[in-house]
Chain A
Amino acid sequence: MDASEVEFLAEKETVKIIPNFSLDKIYLIGGDLGPFNPGLPVDVPVWLALNLKQRQKCRIVPPAWMDVDKLEEMRDLERKEDTFTPVPSPYYMELTKLLLNYASDNIPKADEIRTLVKDIWDTRIAKLRLSADSFISQLEAHAKLDNLTLMEINTIRAFLLDSLNCMYKLRSNQQPGSSKGQFTDF
């Protein structure tokens, strides 16, 4: 899956905005939105929030977790624990990037947040590599991967799955009975 497709899924998450215009309820195929009244907070999908923000039609209210204190706590916990700690949003990385790129003026301490999220990400990716290696070297058949996000999985997906496939084939070599007797390929 391309990273842009993961971002696409993240854009379906909802975020609070404060519009500066009024508009009746909109009946989208995927559900109803609005009504929009100047100054009154309303929930919209991220894709719409970003579009309105670009057209200076709203202010975006950052999600509660997008906060320096909270993120520092998360970073420290992530560094302390060996396992993957729960993330505040299954799309924390994508939402951080999107909101900081398009609405950094609505987010206090944007630069610090960027760094913190990157730190959390790096710690988690290092853990992910570690667990991928142990999965391979223990020849595991099953792993529980709670709290991993789609974007994190995506960075290693092709490499890990292809490697597992190769290993499967190399392992099948050890059961000579499984080979299909006569050679049909020339």
Chain B
Amino acid sequence: MDTQSYLPVQPGVGMEENFLSLDDILLSHERLPIRTECSFPRLGFLDKSSDSQDIPEGTKMELPLWLSKGLYEKKRRVLSVELPKVYREGWRTVFNADPNVVDLHKMGPYYYGLGSQMLHFDSPENPEIAQTLLQTFMGRFRRNMDSSQNAYNEDTSALVERLDCLEKALFSSGQSGLNSFQSWEKGRASQLTASSLVLNYRKRKINDIQP
């Protein structure tokens, strides 16, 4: 805690975003398939597939999550949001059978984040989606923990590639705990070192000079 001075705003995880979190801003930029339930006059240019002046009712297009969330209203439908495949029943069955076989990076990379955000949109499937998200996380916990602690003594890079963003962050916090312990074991924990920030700036300076 003391050694790294840059402490970014953490993502909210779950249904609530953190306003200032860069991770949450990137997550909420994920695109969702939607269908307009009314027309949007004078915004036709947003739909690249047509050249009309308006976006007519019934248009199918992709909008970022933040905009879908902003426009979505329970009472007066201006758009309906299609559930991405990975949260639908077919995939849920796969996840519930064995969460460890799934490549969440490919399916995501914000599998948990986006899934939680989807719960903002009314759907009868919401309880099952929420349940699958939690079960998947718990089902993958052991492998993530063990590999972040190098318990298998094997190359973990293949596994890490299949982690979703949230899991990746957890994995690296596990690894840094392990590294801190190992460097202590080797007697290096008390060595005073140069700031990594300083070293990186120096590297960059050299790169700047070299054409």
A residues with CB within 8 A of B: 1-4, 7, 97, 101, 125-126, 129, 132-133, 136-137, 139, 151, 154-160, 162-163, 165-167, 169-174, 176, 179-180, 183-186
Cα distance A126–B150 when bound, in Å?
12
Determine if B134 and A162 form an interchain contact, defined as CB atoms under 8 angstroms apart: no
Contacts of B133 in A (CB 8 A): 170, 173
By the criterion CB–CB under 8 Å, are B13 and A7 in contact?
no
A158 B174 Cβ-Cβ under 8 A: yes
CA distance A132 to B148 in the complex (A): 14
Of the residues A101, A160, A172, A183, contact of B14 by C-beta under 8 Å: A172
A167 x B137 contact (CB < 8 A): yes
Check if A179 sits within 8 Å of B120, measured CB to CB: yes
In the complex the two chains form, is B184's CB within 8 Å of A170's CB? no
> Binding site of B, secondary structure by majority: helix, strand, loop or mixed?
helix
Decide if B138 touches A167 in the complex (CB within 8 Å): yes
Question: Is A170 within 8 A of B137, CB to CB?
Answer: yes
Contacts of B70 in A (CB 8 A): 183, 186
CB atoms of B15 and A172 under 8 A apart:
yes
Task: State which residues 148-195 of B face A: CB under 8 Å.
Answer: 148-149, 151, 166, 169-170, 173-174, 176-178, 180-181, 183-185, 187, 189-190
A-contacting residues, B1-46, CB 8 Å: 1-3, 12-19, 24, 28
Expressed in whole angstroms, the Cα–Cα distance for A7 and B120 within the complex equals: 47
Q: Are B189 and A2 in contact (CB under 8 A)?
A: yes
Contact A166 B166 (CB under 8 A): yes
Whether A159 lies near B14 (C-beta < 8 A) is no
Inter-chain CA distance A9–B132, complex, in Å, is: 43
Known: A133-B142, A169-B14, A174-B131. A3 touches B184 (CB 8 A): yes
The CA of A151 and the CA of B177, in the complex, are separated in Å by 11
A177 to B12, CA, bound (A): 18
Q: Does B105 contact A (CB under 8 A)?
A: no
A21 to B14, CA, bound (A): 64
Does chain A have a CB within 8 A of B80?
Answer: no
Complex CA distance for A126 and B151, rounded to whole angstroms: 9
Q: Is the CB of A169 within 8 A of B119?
A: no
CB distance from A74 to the nearest CB of B (A): 20
Q: Do B149 and A170 have beta carbons less than 8 Å apart?
A: no
The answer to the question of B69 belonging to the interface, with a C-beta cut-off of 8 Å to chain A, is yes
CA distance A167 to B138 in the complex (A): 8
Q: How far is the CA of A118 from the CA of B2 in the complex (A)?
A: 28
Task: Knowing that A154-B177, A170-B116, A185-B17 touch, tell me 19 more A-B residue pairs with CB under 8 angstroms.
Answer: A7-B184, A126-B151, A132-B145, A133-B142, A136-B141, A155-B178, A155-B181, A156-B149, A158-B176, A159-B173, A160-B145, A163-B145, A170-B14, A173-B134, A179-B119, A183-B72, A183-B120, A185-B24, A186-B69
Contact B112 A155 (CB under 8 A): no
Q: Say how far B78's CB is from chain A's closest CB, in angstroms.
A: 14
Given A170-B134, A172-B14, A186-B66, does the pair A163, B149 have CB atoms closer than 8 Å?
Answer: no
- In the complex, A97 Cα to B190 Cα: how many Å? 13
B127 within 8 A of A: yes
